[in-house]
Amino acid sequence: MIRQNPVMRICVSCRKTYDRKDLIKITKDHKQGIMLKNGMGRSAYICKSKKCYLDSKIIKKLQKALRTSLDTEFIDVFEKEITSYNYYPNKGI
Ligand SMILES: [Zn+2]
């Protein structure tokens, strides 16, 4: 019997280790550029906690981790994705 160990990854914001399936993956795909949850290439992960989502430096941290710049189009998609896990009527407070 093969034991399945969870794949652990570190959140770029809080630097805590989580099971990969509990994180949102952002990948710099070799062909398609920045992708959410899919793609092959350098990846960064963010956990679904409010603290990390509201981190004002999160985009900078992602850019540093991915060694690329993120365009506003991607940031928009990313924010929609992450807010779908967290609904905060008082966002920004
Ligand atoms: Zn985090």
In a domain, 45, yes or no: yes
For ligand 1, the distance from its centroid to the CA atom of residue 2, given in whole angstroms, is 30
In a domain, 59, yes or no: yes
For ligand 1, the distance from its centroid to the CA atom of residue 86, given in whole angstroms, is 13
Identify the band that residue 58 occupies on the pLDDT scale cut at 50, 70 and 90.
very high
Report how many domains make up the chain: 1
For ligand 1, the distance from its centroid to the CA atom of residue 56, given in whole angstroms, is 13
- Whether residue 87 is predicted with pLDDT greater than 70 in this model: the reply is no
Q: At 39, which amino acid appears?
A: G
In a domain, 1, yes or no: no
Distance CA 55, CA 40 (A): 26
Cross-strand partners of 29: 33, 41
Distance CA 35, CA 76 (A): 12
- Whether residue 59 is predicted with pLDDT greater than 50 in this model: the reply is yes
Identify the band that residue 93 occupies on the pLDDT scale cut at 50, 70 and 90.
very low
In a domain, 93, yes or no: no
For ligand 1, the distance from its centroid to the CA atom of residue 32, given in whole angstroms, is 26
List the Cα angle 26/17/55 in 5-degree steps: 60
Domain of residue 30: give its range. Answer: 8-85
In a domain, 25, yes or no: yes
Nearest to 83 by CA among 42, 36, 27: 36
pTM of the model: 0.82
